[in-house]
Structure 1
Amino acid sequence: MVPGWQVNPNGDTGANSYRLGLDPSKHAERTELRRRLGYLPQKPGGFPHFTAFELVDYVAILKEMTDRRKRHDEVRRVLSEVDLADRATTKVRKLSGGMRQRLAFAQALLGRPQLLILDEPTVGLDPEQRMRFRALISRLGEKCTVLLSTHQTEDVAALCERVITFKQGQVAFDGTPAELAGTATGQVWESAERPVSGLFWRTADGRYRTLGERPPNAQAAKPTIEDGYLLLLGGDARTVTA
C-alpha cells in the first residue's frame, strides 16, 4: 500500500479521508475494510492436495462467505474469470505454474473487491501467460482500483495510468508512465562504439545504449519507462503502480 494514499469509494484520494471510507483503527470498520480488499501475494503458496475449487472455496469461507450456495456460485464465477472453470476438479499440484498463479488471482477476486492489490503478478510467467494476466488486469481496472506492485516496466507501460516510484521508503516520482519516461530526456544515448564508462548495454542491432553522460559520437535516443526508472532510482528501488 502506498504510504498515506487513501482511496475513497468514488476513487478519490486524500490525506484526510479514511481508506475506502472506513477507519482501519476501529475493529468493526477494519473487518469491513478487509471484505472490500483483494490481495495477491508474490508467492501465494496453497494446499497441493486440494482441488482448484476446494482451495478457492476454503478462502471464501475464511472471508466469511457463510451461505453455501452463494459461496459456491462466487467460487465458480472467479474461476471462470481467470479461465480455470474447466480445471475446477483438478488438484492444485497438477496445475502448471501459470495456472496456479491464476488460481491465486481467483481467490483475490472473491467478493468483487473495490481495491485489488497485486504483488508481482507476472513474475515467472511465459509471454502467453503474461498476456492473459495483462488482459485480465486491464479488464478489472474498469471495475475497481488496481494497485500493482512490480519491477516489470513493460507491465507498467502496458497497463498503468499512474505510477508511484519509491526510493528508500520515500516517494521519488508520482505521475503518468509517459512522464516517468520523460524524466530521462537528454540522458539516453545510442552509439556504434562501445562506451568506456557509465551504464550501458549492447542492443539486438549491435549498437550500445547508454544512460547518463553522453559518450563520444553518440546520438540522442528516445527514452523509455525503464530508462526513467533506472536513472531515477538505480538498483535499490521498487515501483508501485495504479
Structure 2
Amino acid sequence: MLSIKNLNKTYANGVHAINNVSLEIPNGLYGLLGPNGAGKSSLMRTIATLQEADSGSIHFNGLDVLRQGEQLRRQLGYLPQDFGVYPKVSAIDLLNHFAVLKGLTNSAERKQVVESLLQQTNLWDARKRHLGTYSGGMRQRFGIAQALLGSPKLVIVDEPTAGLDPDERNRFLNLLAEIGENVVVILSTHIVEDVTDLCPRMAMIVKGQVLVQGEPNTVIETLKSKVWRKSVSKAALAEYQKQFTVLATRLVAGQPQINVFSDHQPDDSFVAVEPDLEDVYFLHLRRSAAESVSLAA
C-alpha cells in the first residue's frame, strides 16, 4: 500500500504543482489521469524521491518515503516520461549495464535476470539490435525492462503510451497488466482509454489537485442519466457551447455531435447516452476551467 497524505509542492516560479494531495494506492494498476501540466509528473517525481515535498507525507509498506528515500529506491522501478537510450548500444548490453548499476553483481544471476526481462517484454529476438533502430513501442518496452530490474515492489510509469501506434499500445498495456498482478503500478497518463481499459482504481488530477478518485465504474456512475447527445450544425455550435456544459464535440459525417452534461433532458431533440470516463474527465476539466475564470474575474 502506498499512502499519500496532504502532499504539497510549490516551485520557485510560484507554480503550486501538488496541492494537498491525499491518495491510498493498493497493489495493482492505479491510474493517475489528467491533462498535460496537471501536476502528474511532479507527483511521480516526488514519490520516486527525485524531488522533495514542501509538506505532507508518503508511506510505502511502512516506509517513510520522504525520510528514507534510499530504502524506497531499492524497491522502485521508474519509467519517466522522457526516457533516453544510447542509440548505438544493443538492448542486451545496456540492460546488463543497468543491472550492474542496480546492484546485480553476480554475473550468472545477472545474465538470467536480463534474459528473462528481455523475454518478458518481447524483446528477445531484437536483443542484439542497437536501441537507435527500435520503434517507439520497443523503446518503451525496454524502459519497462530496466524499471523491473531488482524485482521492485513499486513501479511508476509516466505517460508511457503517448505516441505509440495501437498495436504497440496494446502490447505495452498488456505488459503493465501482467506486472500489476503482484506489485503497485502507477500509470500516469492523459489518455482516458488507458485508465478505463486497465485500472481497477484511479484518481483525476487537475492543476495539482485531486478532483475525483475511486473505481472507474463508480466514478462513471455519478453521471448516470446526466449525459445527453445531439447533432448540431456548425453554425449553431458556438451557441450551444455558451448555453450548455458541452463535454465533447465530435464530427460525425461532417456534422458536429455534442455530449452535454445536464441533470435533466435539455429538450426533446437530445437523447440520453451512457456516460463513460471521458465524460467524467471533460466535466471536471470544464468545471476547473470555469472556476479559474471566476477567480480571475
TM-score (norm 1): 0.84
Partner of 1:145: 184
Partner of 1:229: 281
Partner of 1:156: 195
- SS of match in other structure, 1:164: strand
- Cα deviation for residue 127 of structure 1 reads 0.7
Name which of structure 1's ranges 34-43 and 208-217 shifts more when overlaid on structure 2: 208-217
Between structures 1 and 2, the one with greater strand share: 2
Is 1:82 the equivalent of 2:130?
no
Query: For residues 235 and 131 of structure 1, what CA distance do their matches in structure 2 show?
Result: 32
Paired residues of 2:3 and 2:25 also in contact (CA < 8 A): no
Paired residues of 2:173 and 2:194 also in contact (CA < 8 A): yes
Partner of 2:260: 211
Partner of 1:185: 224
Matches within 5 A, 1:1-242: 3-4=4-5, 5=23, 18-26=59-67, 29-194=68-233, 195=237, 196-198=239-241, 199=246, 200-204=248-252, 208-213=257-262, 216=267, 217-234=269-286
Matched residue type, 1:234: R
- Cα deviation for residue 68 of structure 1 reads 1.9
Distance 1:99 1:9, change over 3 A: closer
CA displacement 1:63-109 (0-9 Å, x = unmatched): 12222221121111111110001111111111122111111111011
What are the ranges of 5 or more consecutive residues in structure 1 without an aligned counterpart? Answer: 238-242
Distance 1:68 1:110, change over 3 A: same
- Cα deviation for residue 124 of structure 1 reads 0.8
- Cα deviation for residue 45 of structure 1 reads 0.7
Query: For residues 169 and 3 of structure 2, what CA distance do their matches in structure 1 show?
Result: 24
TM-score (norm 2): 0.70
Query: For residues 228 and 8 of structure 1, what CA distance do their matches in structure 2 show?
Result: 23
Query: For residues 280 and 115 of structure 2, what CA distance do their matches in structure 1 show?
Result: 42
- SS of match in other structure, 1:18: strand
Distance 1:93 1:175, change over 3 A: same
Matched residue type, 2:257: Y
Identity %, equivalent residues: 36
Query: For residues 119 and 240 of structure 2, what CA distance do their matches in structure 1 show?
Result: 52
Report which structure shows greater RCO (CA 8 Å, sep ≥6): 2
Matched residue type, 1:185: K
- SS of match in other structure, 2:61: helix
Name which of structure 1's ranges 152-161 and 15-24 shifts more when overlaid on structure 2: 15-24
- Cα deviation for residue 24 of structure 1 reads 3.1
- SS of match in other structure, 1:130: helix
Query: For residues 98 and 16 of structure 1, what CA distance do their matches in structure 2 show?
Result: 35
Distance 1:181 1:53, change over 3 A: same
Paired residues of 1:180 and 1:229 also in contact (CA < 8 A): no
Paired residues of 1:162 and 1:176 also in contact (CA < 8 A): yes
Query: For residues 132 and 90 of structure 2, what CA distance do their matches in structure 1 show?
Result: 9
- SS of match in other structure, 2:160: coil
Number of residue equivalences: 232
Paired residues of 2:57 and 2:64 also in contact (CA < 8 A): no
- Cα deviation for residue 158 of structure 1 reads 0.7
